Structure 1
Amino acid sequence: MTHKIIVAGCGGMSNTWLDYAIQRENAEIVGLVDIFEESAKAMAAKKGLNVPTFTDLGAALAATGANLVFDVTIPASHKTIAITAMQAGCNVFGEKPMAESFADAKEIVEVSQATGKRYSVMQNRRYNKQIRSYRDMVGSGSIGTIGSIHADFFLGAHFGGFRDAMDNPLIIDMAIHTFDQARFITGADPVSVYCHEFNPPGSWYAGNASAICIYEMSDGSVFTYRGSWCADGLNTSWESDWRVTGSKGGARWDGATMPYGEIVNPEKAEGFIREMLRIEGQEVYDGQEGHWGCLDEMFAALEAGRPAETDCLDNIKSVAMVFGAVESARTGQKVML
């Protein structure tokens, strides 16, 4: 199978996607699309690509015979790009979040189901050896039944550009990663959310760049999220700082090093503060990490005729966590998902 790829959007993230496609043996870039055609031309020159450039995706699809679209545009464009591509007979791999609203995301899923075309979402933070090890530790039963999962995310990210002007920059553009990670680590899906969103003193964002969220999950556990994108100093990793509590112990992951845990020593199970035994995460994942690992999975799924791990049919549940949190913050009420 040869993948003939149109890349829509020629901003910073397109570098990663293009580099991956260029090195893939059964992939061919057949065109670049950007509302500013000079940006597309500049990217083609930068990557040494002798391909046509366009300002309209429909025209690019008609002219090139592409069968796959990389959507690396801003969130506001995702719905139009995805639906245009799928209705033209193309599969789509897109940057997160799936769409700018939950209604748009649901429409994308409906079009994917109606056309039989796949729409897979970049959730690159599922793809590193540490989170795979952490998921295995939590899922092994070593710490018992999961009671709660907690994630802290604190970074001072001075992007400039569209994020600085968004109403909900943290929740919509970044927290989708952490919410999706929580589902990945526990294997549970969201049931409800209560969110308090705010913009702290010193913030350089127009919209709310900090939030605290409480989710009830389908396995009966509770997931809490504390995050800020305007926290200068004492930063966590981009992967967040995690703690899972279970009926027999707990597991920690700082987002940067291998996870570890502590479980009750079965030989000394009594006492006010019980004696614990340390357990270490095992390094078993040998795939590529980050964006390239997620793209490997997207292509492998497409070639096998199955949904990718981050197919829109699954990712819509992570998207629901995002827009449920936004709705809860807006109304001050718990929102059922």
Structure 2
Amino acid sequence: MSGPTVRIVMNGVTGRMGYRQHLVRSVLAIRDEGGVLRPDGTRLQVEPVLVGRSRDKLADIARRHDIDLFHTDLDAALAEDGASIYFDAQVTSEHKKAILRAIAAGKHVFTEKPLAESVDEGMELVEAARAAGIVDGVVHDKIYLPGLIKLKRLIDAGFFGRILSVRGEFGYWVFEGDMLPAQRPSWNYRAEDGGGITLDMYCHWSYVLEHLFGGVEAVMTRSVTHIPHRFDEQGNRYEATADDAAYGIFELAGGVIAQINSSWAVRVDRKELVEFQVDGTHGSAVAGLFGCRIQHRVRTPKPVWNPDVPTDQDFRAQWEEVPDNQEFTNGFRAQWERFLLDADAGRPHPYDFMSGVRGLRLVAAALKSSAEGVRVELPGASA
């Protein structure tokens, strides 16, 4: 049964992430399938309103996807009838001013992470959103991934017993741009444009760790720039001023220790581009984007260290795959549906601006740790 229609002002959809994950695979997929089911049985219909700097690019996207409205002026887009939600997928340095304009216009706001370039900027957005009484949210797509949903099930079921440690490996080789085009935009490697893997990925690790295991209470990190020069989209050589790898140790509430390596200068020798191994007294698991493998203590082998004899055990074959048991929705779309229903009901979204600020606090602590070679505490980070 058809219900109300909400227009979503979408800024930054000419970029890869904004276009593929948020526009095509989330908002347009929801639109084309009849909207989001509301508690009363009606469906909340959605229509995107595109906004950006390039009229030609916006016009092309609008034509290909049957979208009626697009603007190069943000205020004009925000003034469209029925436009009650603003979404931002611009480069990080552009978030603050656009989000403040959307809040001033009374719009609910959903934004890509990082929320802002600094903790102070993030808190400015938190305070503005609270004063305006809007529903605010930050993209936390990783916790909606099938592999991490399975991992959360195991945790909630007590599979691990007491969790001891977490080890994460994320990354892949991003080509420099000379031999082959880079898979990521050049601004990712310029600190002055909001680039850097610590700023990018530690905002993710903050909410992933908090959601699954507990808030981060202290961090030790070494952030480095392994590849000093890269080539931009026009083939011009430029200096990489942002870090492209970060090696971190995180102390979590409850005593769990997490180690996560994040790198755009690593070649992959694992099943997925990100994997987390969780070890507990009763069992262990290795979770990726989609899969999750487990080994219970009653099935744990008993290897013996002997450097003089090649091992005859196939360790990877000793793990069991957790079945899907359900149909999983694209992680970005799943959170979009949650945010749309929260905005429709006028209730707080669980992954709000303040959660984004906690990610920025972790980034700041990690960069301080790297610069000074020290362990940095985050008092109250798990609150």
TM, length-normalised to structure 2: 0.76
Distance 1:122 1:140 in 2: 27
Q: Percent identity?
A: 22
Distance 1:192 1:46 in 2: 48
Residue 103 of structure 1 and its aligned partner are, at CA, apart by 1.6
Aligned partner of 1:169 in structure 2 is 196
Aligned partner of 1:200 in structure 2 is 226
Which whole-Å deviations, capped at 9, do the CAs of 1:153-194 have from their partners, x for residues lacking one?
1311332331132365211123433342222222x1111111
Distance 1:169 1:84 in 2: 26
Which of 11, 21, 34 is equivalent to 2:27? 21
Distance change in 2, residues 1:283/1:104 (3 Å): same
Distance change in 2, residues 1:336/1:143 (3 Å): same
User: Aligned pair 1:335/2:376, yes or no?
Assistant: yes
CA contact (8 A) 1:137 1:281 kept: no
Aligned partner of 2:256 in structure 1 is 221
User: Aligned pair 1:178/2:182, yes or no?
Assistant: no
User: Aligned pair 1:80/2:97, yes or no?
Assistant: yes
CA contact (8 A) 1:129 1:285 kept: no
Distance 1:288 1:210 in 2: 30
Partner secondary structure for residue 115 of structure 2: coil
User: Aligned pair 1:5/2:31, yes or no?
Assistant: no
Distance 2:93 2:227 in 1: 28
User: Aligned pair 1:53/2:71, yes or no?
Assistant: yes
The amino acid across from 1:45 in the alignment is R
Larger mean CA deviation between 151-160 and 311-320 belongs to 311-320
Tell me the C-alpha RMSD between the 2 structures: 2.9
Residue 280 of structure 1 and its aligned partner are, at CA, apart by 5.6
Larger mean CA deviation between 35-44 and 222-231 belongs to 35-44
Distance change in 2, residues 1:110/1:127 (3 Å): same
Which whole-Å deviations, capped at 9, do the CAs of 1:80-106 have from their partners, x for residues lacking one?
222211121100111122112222112
The amino acid across from 2:170 in the alignment is F
Distance change in 2, residues 1:110/1:282 (3 Å): farther
Partner secondary structure for residue 2 of structure 1: strand
Larger mean CA deviation between 176-185 and 103-112 belongs to 176-185
Which whole-Å deviations, capped at 9, do the CAs of 1:10-33 have from their partners, x for residues lacking one?
322232322332342334436322
Distance 2:268 2:322 in 1: 28
Aligned partner of 1:259 in structure 2 is 293
Distance 1:220 1:38 in 2: 53
Distance 2:89 2:227 in 1: 32
User: Aligned pair 1:298/2:328, yes or no?
Assistant: no
CA contact (8 A) 2:114 2:356 kept: no
Residue 287 of structure 1 and its aligned partner are, at CA, apart by 4.5
Distance 1:221 1:172 in 2: 23
Aligned partner of 2:215 in structure 1 is 189
Which of 197, 201, 212 is equivalent to 2:247? 212
The amino acid across from 2:295 in the alignment is G
Aligned partner of 2:62 in structure 1 is 44
Residue 283 of structure 1 and its aligned partner are, at CA, apart by 3.4
Which whole-Å deviations, capped at 9, do the CAs of 1:176-222 have from their partners, x for residues lacking one?
33342222222x11111111111225774442111111111122211
Residue 74 of structure 1 and its aligned partner are, at CA, apart by 1.0
Residue 43 of structure 1 and its aligned partner are, at CA, apart by 2.6
Unaligned runs of 5+ in 1: none
CA contact (8 A) 1:154 1:235 kept: no
The amino acid across from 2:186 in the alignment is G
Please say which structure displays the higher CA radius of gyration. 2
CA contact (8 A) 1:7 1:33 kept: yes
Partner secondary structure for residue 212 of structure 2: helix
Distance change in 2, residues 1:331/1:285 (3 Å): farther
